[in-house]
Structure 1
Amino acid sequence: MITGGAGGMGVATARIVGRDHSLVLCDVRKDRLDAAVATLDELGIEATAVHCDVTDRDAVATLFDTASGLGPIASVIHTAGVSPSMGDAEYVMRTNAIGTVNVDEAFYATAGEGAAIVNVASMAAHLLPEEIIPTSLFPRALSDESAFMSDMLSACEMAPEEARSGLAYALSKTFVRWYSTSQAERFNARGLRIVSVSPGSVDTEMGRLEEQAGAGAMVTDAAVPRWGKPEEMAELLAFCAGERAGYLTGTDILNDGGVVASMRERARVAADEV
């Protein structure tokens, strides 16, 4: 199953995993979802489309019911998410954080031994100073959605209003990274793997929305000074979800062309020169 299946990374990943698995694509944009299924069909890859908003727990339950009706769930690749330019802080946080909880908890309740879920975080999850991340409040997302959302939006108020959706994005993806590591032992008790991947700036429609908001400059300053290709991310996502990665769980893989490494090293050098 691929959430966000109509997006650039979703379709690229579907082209790989669809070679030897039955495929379920879900997306909140029905027109784009239908187009993605048609594109895959031209490649000889059959996919079942499910129109689904991952922030709707009942819709996610229906999604998993549909997938389970096709056979055992081998893996879920959760690419569904939004960037800062796509909405306000509440929308960004709900989609990225609560959407992840909804999908992952449904996977935990539904999938059988040996299955894996791969969540898409972001390099933004590696850039926030530890002291501003309300990690102690993250577990509330599993027990009290309203309290969690209130806590996270309060945390975003440290930023000017025009920057809050950006902070919400970084915090929500930091949450995805936290969840994918903190829940590994619980998932393993049911024979399930959970991993997250943190892409850098990827040449997709959503990625390019952020080009003028700072992503373009980070690409220029990266160790690999170019945009990542959706296919490069797809290969990693597919590997993490597959049987060859059977020992991989409870971790995040940063795949950002060296952006974070370059920024940290340049900050260190600048500090030494002061």
Structure 2
Amino acid sequence: MSNVSVITGGAGGMGLATAKVVGNDHSLVICDVRQDRLDAAASALDALGIAYQAVNCDVTDRRAVVDLFDVASGLGRIASVIHTAGVSPSMGSAEYVMRTNAIGTLNVNECFFDIAAEGAAIVNVASMAAHLLPENMVPTDRFPQALKDQEAFMKDMLAACSIVPEEMQSGIAYAVSKSFVRWYAVAQCERFNGKGLRVVSVSPGSIDTEMGRLEADAGAGALVADAAVPRWGKREEMADLLAFCASDKAGYLTGTDILNDGGVVASVTERARQSADS
């Protein structure tokens, strides 16, 4: 039976780069909500001789995610899921950002939990933004609500974002939603371990992708020049990390977040400390 890897957002910059790595030794299922991007990704994978199934899937739709996993299960044993699907602050309202990033992550992970067999792993993409948002702005105590009542969770999350002017709320929603992604890997680790499953999150910095460049003139882009590695991260650098975290080589890795941001958070944190001491 072949090992199957599912990559959500598989037609995006990081997702497609990861598919090119994982597709060398796994049966591949890529999904994306945009058919035009799926078609372009299919052409790129065809050119490399990588076999795949492409599925148009909106991760905020639980039924669509169930159908996605049905397709993957029909190809063999689900060995890994790499969940890169998500949106940035410039792409929509606070509600859209929160629902896509938080509810999308919940749907993909819970469906994976329901269907995956022992030894499988899921890797979620969070963000350095989740490391930079002050803790008193993160409604962590309300995060468990997502597992019980998604609409109540959304109401609580949007209320947390409403403390800033409307034009800033998408940015806060992004950081809060990615904080939820980080929280999920930690909080659900023991439950996943009970079935022999691993769950990890990875927090990229400013990565040179179509979505990443949308924030070039905003906070994420502005931080690049001050990073310990003062450049945009390469999608291939993220792809190799995501593929490793999902592989058997990382079999001891679970319940944690890996920050891969060129040292931005370290620099910001240390500068803040020095400023407070001066």
Matches of 1:222 and 1:213, distance apart in 2 = 15
Secondary structure of 1:70's aligned partner: coil
Q: Does 2:44 align with 1:39?
A: yes
Tell me which residue corresponds to 1:7. 12
Matched residue of 1:73: which SS?
A: strand
RMSD between superposed Cα atoms in Å: 0.5
Q: Secondary structure at the match of 1:201?
A: coil
Distance 2:51 2:262 in 1: 32
Return 208-217 or 54-63, whichever deviates more: 208-217
Q: Say which SS state the counterpart of residue 81 (structure 2) adopts.
A: strand
Any residues of structure 2 matched to 1:215-254 within 5 Å, and which? 215-254=220-259
Q: AA paired with 2:67?
A: T
Alignment partners' CA distance in 2, 1:238 and 1:216: 25
Q: Which residue of 2 aligns with 1:150?
A: 155
What is the CA deviation profile of residues 126-168 of structure 1, one whole-angstrom value per residue up to 9, with x for unaligned ones?
0111112111100010110010000000000111110000000
Matches within 5 A, 1:145-224: 145-224=150-229
Tell me how far 1:31 sits from its aligned partner: 1.2
Find 1:82's aligned residue among 87, 100, 104: 87
Provide the secondary structure at the position in 2 that maps to 1:249.
coil
Residue 253 (structure 1) shift: 0.1
The question of whether the paired residues in 2 share the 8 Å contact of 1:37 and 1:46 is answered with no
Structure 1 portions without partners, runs of 5+: none
Tell me, in whole angstroms, the C-alpha distance in 2 between the residues paired with 1:113 and 1:189: 9
Separation of aligned partners in 1, 2:169 and 2:102: 15
How far does residue 216 in structure 1 lie from its aligned partner after superposition? 2.1
Question: Of 97, 106, 118, which aligns to 2:102?
Answer: 97
Amino acid at match of 1:146: E
Within 2, Cα distance between the matches of 1:131 and 1:212?
26
Q: Which stretch shifts more, 175-184 or 210-219?
A: 210-219
Q: How many residues align?
A: 273
Map of 2:113 onto structure 1: 108
One-letter amino acid of the counterpart of residue 218, structure 2? A
- Aligned-partner SS, 1:211: coil
CA distance in 1, matches of 2:168, 2:203: 21
Letter in 1 for 2:221: G
Q: In the aligned structure 2, how far is the partner of 1:31 from the partner of 1:134? A: 36
Distance (Å, rounded) in 1 between the aligned partners of 2:221 and 2:261: 13
- The whole-number CA distance in structure 1 between the counterparts of 2:108 and 2:264 is 29
- Is residue 58 of structure 1 aligned with residue 32 of structure 2? no
Question: In 2, distance between residues paired with 1:230 and 1:216?
Answer: 15
* Cα distance per residue 1:87-119 (max 9 Å; x no partner): 000000000000000000000001100000000
Match of 1:258?
263
Report the residue type matching 2:165 in the other structure. Answer: P
Q: Partner of 2:132 in structure 1?
A: 127
**Structure 1 SS opposite 2:16:** helix
CA distance in 1, matches of 2:167, 2:179: 20
Q: How far apart are the structure 1 equivalents of 2:51 and 2:82?
A: 17
TM-score, structure 2 as length reference: 0.98
Q: Which runs of 4+ in 1 moved over 4 A?
A: none
Indicate the residue corresponding to 1:27 in structure 2: 32
CA offsets per residue over residues 18-52 of structure 1, 9 Å max, x none? 00000000000011111101101100101100000
Report what 2:3 is aligned to.
Answer: none
Taking the aligned partners of 2:222 and 2:33, their CA distance within structure 1 comes to: 30
Per the alignment, in what secondary structure is the counterpart of residue 217 of structure 2? helix
